[in-house]
Amino acid sequence: MKLLMVGILLCCSLVYASAPHERLASLEKALDSVQTLEADFVQKNSDGTVFNGKIFLSRPGKIKFAYETPKGMVIVADGKNLVYVDPSVHQATYLDLETTPASLLLDKHLDFREHATLISFYETKGRIEVCLRTYKTSHHLTLFIDPKTKMLQGWKTKDPQGNEVEISFSNIKRNPVFCDETLFTFKKQKRLKKA
């Protein structure tokens, strides 16, 4: 009898454990259909500051945060590098895109299980939250997804030091055409220095 109960509990736990992975695969497929995205965003930082602006995303490898506040701040990825421009210190910081959690969302074909560990999966009427830990950076990346449209509504990142940044989208445009070929390029300015 004990053996039967253990077997039933094991089967139930395996079914329960596989359900989020099956839902994640379904969400990957829906998110994979979005090759380009444009939206307004609000960014909430661990220190209480709030920024806003526009985001442009083009897979594979390209993303741009054009900040309205703070004015002049830009984050742009050109498919290889991610450049963070902080006008308050007149500095541009260059990172290999693959060393950032953004690379998880910018692959040509999304496959979260190949690049991350599923930490948690929550679904409510208003939002799906998928928390992943990236293999390359050890960041936690929580995706916010609309359960009806399966559209990305934003995300939250948490670095190994515990710093969090949450980004929420509004006025989302799915698969817009970007005509500006320089949208995802960074033009060096005289006062900015390479870090």
Per the domain annotation, does 2 fall within a domain?
no
Strand runs labelled E in the chain: 36-45, 50-58, 62-69, 74-78, 81-86, 91-96, 116-123, 128-134, 140-145, 152-158, 164-174, 193-194
What's 128's domain CATH number? 2.50.20.10
| 113-163 pLDDT tens trace | 888 888 999 998 889 999 999 888 889 999 999 999 999 999 999 988 899
pLDDT at 19: 61
**1 pLDDT above the threshold of 80:** no
- Residue 109 pLDDT class (50, 70, 90 cuts): confident
Per the domain annotation, does 7 fall within a domain?
no
Q: Phi and psi dihedrals of 79, rounded to 5?
A: 110, -20
Per the domain annotation, does 41 fall within a domain?
yes
Per the domain annotation, does 92 fall within a domain?
yes
Name the nearest CA neighbour of 114 among 95, 139, 141, 132. Answer: 132
Per the domain annotation, does 134 fall within a domain?
yes
Per the domain annotation, does 20 fall within a domain?
no
Number of domains the chain contains: 1
pLDDT at 21: 73
Per the domain annotation, does 172 fall within a domain?
yes
Per the domain annotation, does 6 fall within a domain?
no
**191 pLDDT above the threshold of 80:** no
Mean pLDDT (whole number) for 17-40:
84
| 42-74 pLDDT tens trace | 999 999 999 999 999 999 999 999 999 998 899
The answer to whether the pTM exceeds 0.85 is no
